[in-house]
Every structure is written in structure tokens, then in C-alpha cells.
Amino acid sequence: MLKIYNDGKRITAALSGDLDHHAAREIRLELDDVIARSRPELLILDFEKVGFMDSSGIGLILGRSRAVRAVGGELLVKNARREIAEIIKISGLGQLIAAQCDVG
Amino acid sequence: MKRVLINECKAVFPALSRNESLSRSMAAAFALQCDPTVEETAAVKTAVSEAVTNAIVHGYRDSEGFVEMNMKLYDNGLLYIQIKDKGRGIDDIKAAMEPMFTTAPAAEERSGLGFTVMQSFMDKVKVRSSAGRGTTVTLEKRIGGKPLDKR
């Protein structure tokens, strides 16, 4: 569900499976824990292995964006597949974190 | 021309968050018979997931209960999915359908985009609700290009 690679300054969180309301809760707790402990300059959410996401994922991305900014870092979303990028687009989140959000 | 009902399926499951994934898999399996594209399947799964999550998170926020899903398929490729709860109901449907509107506590990080996503991915979204009695969301989408036989 979640693999974390942490080199101190940069954390890559490789998410996998379905990102819905059921899954989001646990991922959120784990990510907030690592953000608080490591205070990363960059948190990368890698969506390569996420097969499904609904609007619960938007809450998760937005919440982590706030959490990482609160410790002076930035958030990057990468490798989101087309349907997921579409939901990010609908949400307007892409504009909100435009410079950091690569949903290509 | 009158459309003809080709197939239907009803599922009832408890309002547990683990059933969000079950419900959208059932909808995707039902939709499969009209030969959907990858995008159409993703759209149906996403919309169903939003409606069922709403029933679980909002409808049954303070109670336990069941979510009912009624699926129908017509000969013109119209897929009709109704998601019904007997929970608390929505006080103000118009407000609830506004983007970013949510009544969930901030700590739960609900984006308030459920209805917006449903409307983006489906052809039609209808909501009926009555305070204290529950909510019914009806989703409709034309799937696939070809007419279907009743067999």
C-alpha cells in the first residue's frame, strides 16, 4: 500500500493499490508521521502503482501538501495515470500546487 | 423509441469503508457486459465509489446500516446505477452539490468534491434525500456504441 524511501531531505512515498476513503486513513497517518519526524524539503507522492483514486485522494494530497509546507517543504505528485490526473484537474489542485504538481 | 431493460442486479451491503472497493468492483463487473472502454470503466468505478463513500461517511455517520445498489442495463447501452442509504439524509442538496462543500470534520480531509466528480464522469446525476430518512443517488451513463440483445 505504501513504501517510503527516505534520504533525509527527500522522501519518496510510492503508493499502490486503490486510493479511496478506506485506504486513505492509514496512508495519511503513516505519511504525517514521517513528515513530522524527517521534516523533508521534498515529499514525492509516486502514483505509478495506484490503479484507482477517487476524491478521497484529493483530500490526502491536499492535506499532505499542507503538512509538508508547514515544515518548510514542498510536495510533488508524479506518475499519475490519466484517470487520476483527470480527477486532480477537476479538483483544481493542479493549479493550487502548480509548480510542484507533475501529473503528465 | 422505448428502451428495453436487458439486465439488472441488486446488491445490499453494510456501510463499512471496506465495501467501497467491493461496490465499485461490482459496478465495473456489471458494466462489462456493454463492452466499455477503459475510460468508461474508470468513470463508472469512480462515480460509484464517490456515492457509496458519501453514504458511508455522511448517511451513516452516527449509525449503522446498509447501502443498497441497484444496477440496470438497457438495450441502448444506458447504464443506470442507484445507490441508496437509509441514513440521516442531506439537509440542503443544492449546497451539498457545490464543489468543496463538506459537513465532515476537517480532520477527516474530505475534499467536498464527491458530487463534482460524479457529475464530471457520468451523463446524469440525480439526488433525492429526506432528513432522517436517507438519500438516493442515481447515476446514468451511456456505455459502448452498439445496441444490446436481450439474451
As for the ipTM of the complex, it is 0.91
Terminal alpha carbon distance of chain A: 22
**Does a structural domain hold residue B43?**
yes
Distance CA A18, CA A54 (A): 9
Q: Per-residue pLDDT for A94 more than 80?
A: no
Q: What domains, with CATH codes, occur in chain A?
A: 2-100 (3.30.750.24)
**Does a structural domain hold residue B148?**
no
Give mean pLDDT, residues A81-103: 72
> Which range, of A75-84, A87-96, B119-128, averages the lowest pLDDT?
A87-96
Give, in order, the Cα–Cα distances in Å from B55 to each of A34, B49, B98. 32, 10, 17
Name which of B45, B52, B113, B125 to mutate to probe chain A: the one with the most chain A Cβ atoms within 10 A of its Cβ.
B113
Check A55 against B111: CB less than 8 A apart.
yes
pLDDT band at residue A99, thresholds of 50, 70 and 90?
A: very low
Q: Which of B71, B59, B58 is nearest to B30 (CA)?
A: B71
**Does a structural domain hold residue B65?**
yes
Give, in order, the Cα–Cα distances in Å from B60 to each of A78, A91, B1. 35, 25, 40
- What does R_g of chain B's alpha carbons equal in angstroms? 15
Distance CA A61, CA A19 (A): 11
Residue A29 touches partner B, C-beta closer than 8 Å:
no
Check B20 against A28: CB less than 8 A apart.
no
Q: Per-residue pLDDT for A104 more than 60?
A: no
**Does a structural domain hold residue B115?**
yes
CATH number at residue B107: 3.30.565.10
3-state secondary structure B34-65: HCCCHHHHHHHHHHHHHHHHHHHHHHCCCCCC
**Does a structural domain hold residue B131?**
yes
**Does a structural domain hold residue B149?**
no
Q: Which DSSP category does B23 fall into?
A: H
pLDDT band at residue A15, thresholds of 50, 70 and 90?
A: very high
Residue A96 touches partner B, C-beta closer than 8 Å:
no
pTM for the full predicted model: 0.93
Q: Which residues contact B74 (CB under 8 A, 6 or more apart)?
A: B3, B4, B5, B6, B80, B148
Domain that holds residue B33: 5-142
Q: Per-residue pLDDT for A63 more than 60?
A: yes
Name which of A1, A22, A61 to mutate to probe chain B: the one with the most chain B Cβ atoms within 10 A of its Cβ.
A22
- Check: CB of residue B143 under 8 Å from CB of residue B34: yes
Check A54 against B120: CB less than 8 A apart.
no
What is the distance in angstroms between the Cα of B109 and the nearest Cα belonging to chain A?
5
Q: Per-residue pLDDT for A98 more than 90?
A: no
> Hey, which residues of B are catalytic here?
50, 54, 110
Nearest CA in chain B to A66: B109
Give, in order, the Cα–Cα distances in Å from A16 to each of A49, A50, A52, A91, B54. 5, 4, 9, 21, 23
Note which residues in 54-83 of chain A have CB less than 8 A from chain B: 54-56, 58-60, 62-63, 82-83
Tell me the chain A residues in contact with residue B20 when contact means C-beta distances shorter than 8 Å.
Answer: 20-22
Q: Per-residue pLDDT for A97 more than 60?
A: no
If one counts the domains in chain B, the total is 1
